[in-house]
A = this chain, B = another copy of it.
Amino acid sequence: MSRSNLPYAITIREVAEAAGVSKSTVSLVLKSSPLIPANTADRVREAAHKLGYIYNSRAGELRGRTSKTIGVVVSDLSNPFFTEILVGVERRLVEAGYIVLMAHTCESVERQNQVLRTMREQGAAGIVLCPAYGTPRGLTQEVASWSMPLVVMIRSLGPGKYDFAGADNERGAYAATMHLLAAGHTRIGFLGGLTGVVLEQRLKGYRAALTGRGLKFDENLLVAAQPTRKGGFETMNTLLDKKPQPTSAVCYNDIVALGALSALGARGMHAGQDFALMGFDNIQDAAHFNPPLSTIDIRPGNLAEQAATLLLNRMETPGRTRQIFLAEPELVIRQSG
């Protein structure tokens, strides 16, 4: 709690006095109200500038019971995917005249609760949440009970009074797997991911593709691990030790794929030649992996902007029906598979 050492702030009153008008007039000028004729407005603005007046949004927002801040809580910035989400959301919100109260939960539900409460006390006008793993379903209900506009991203939290922006994971994984099948692969692993809806959905698509081709789903080719680079590295090693050796894999996400790529490299194998690898998300770097990664594009930046837009619209029209934006996954074929 820092106390600004108070060389008393210039307020609207003093501007008013300097300009020879009332504080009400100054207030109107500041919101560029059409009620004030140009010459008066100019005089006021000049006085404000001369005095070094600076607007105190806290006071204004307290009085008006409004808010220009939006809480954005993100679970894992060590994954560039989420960084792209954060950047996209921020861009759209700033563009709309809002400012972002940001928090990083490191996948801790406890921390998430803490920052959510703080944001509420701070008077955030709405919240964009990438939920941490293990977030209880009840959370959305609670936030709704605050009558706080909420959009959940990426990981759905089941039914509830919130908007959602994510990807059609099942369809994406299906497409990725189909691509490998079409190339003639029959032993296709699935790498990385430990828990959560996103994993379930992606696995579902993977299985659907396999069984759709009359292949039976082989529990053995499914190697779970943290969805990190390290997890990708390890799961790929595990996979390559299976007999007979699988010839391809779809990864939980691009970061896992990146780790998998390393494992391949360490064995002197080349993705795209000795092994076919598919990522998921299409983060910006995916195009510059070595080799460039074939993946499922869900356009993270766009997804983020859509999410922000959902929130803005919700704040505009609190009563509208529940909105869900699902990014249409698109297969992008580069060199890894």
Q: Which residue of B lies closest to A71 (CB)?
A: B99
Assembly CA distance A99 to B70 (angstroms): 12
In the complex, which of the residues B2, B9, B91, B121 contacts A56, with contact meaning CB atoms closer than 8 Å?
B121
Whether A99 pairs with B101 at a CB distance below 8 angstroms is yes
Cβ contacts A193-218/B at 8 Å (1 or 0 each): 00000000000000000000000000
Cβ contacts A22-58/B at 8 Å (1 or 0 each): 0000000000000000000000000000000011111
**Interface size bucket, A side?**
35 or more
- Whether A94 sits at the interface, judged by CB under 8 Å, is yes
How many copies of this chain are found per oligomer?
A: 2
Interface residues of A (CB under 8 A from B): 1-7, 9, 54-59, 61-62, 64-69, 72, 77-78, 80, 83, 86-87, 90-91, 94, 97, 99-104, 111, 115, 118-123, 125-126, 146-147, 149, 229-230, 233, 258-259, 261-262, 265-266, 284-285, 288, 290, 315-316, 318
Whether A68 pairs with B122 at a CB distance below 8 angstroms is yes
Name the B residues within 8 Å of A103 (CB-CB): 90, 94, 99-100
Name the B residues within 8 Å of A125 (CB-CB): 2, 4
Whether A104 pairs with B91 at a CB distance below 8 angstroms is yes
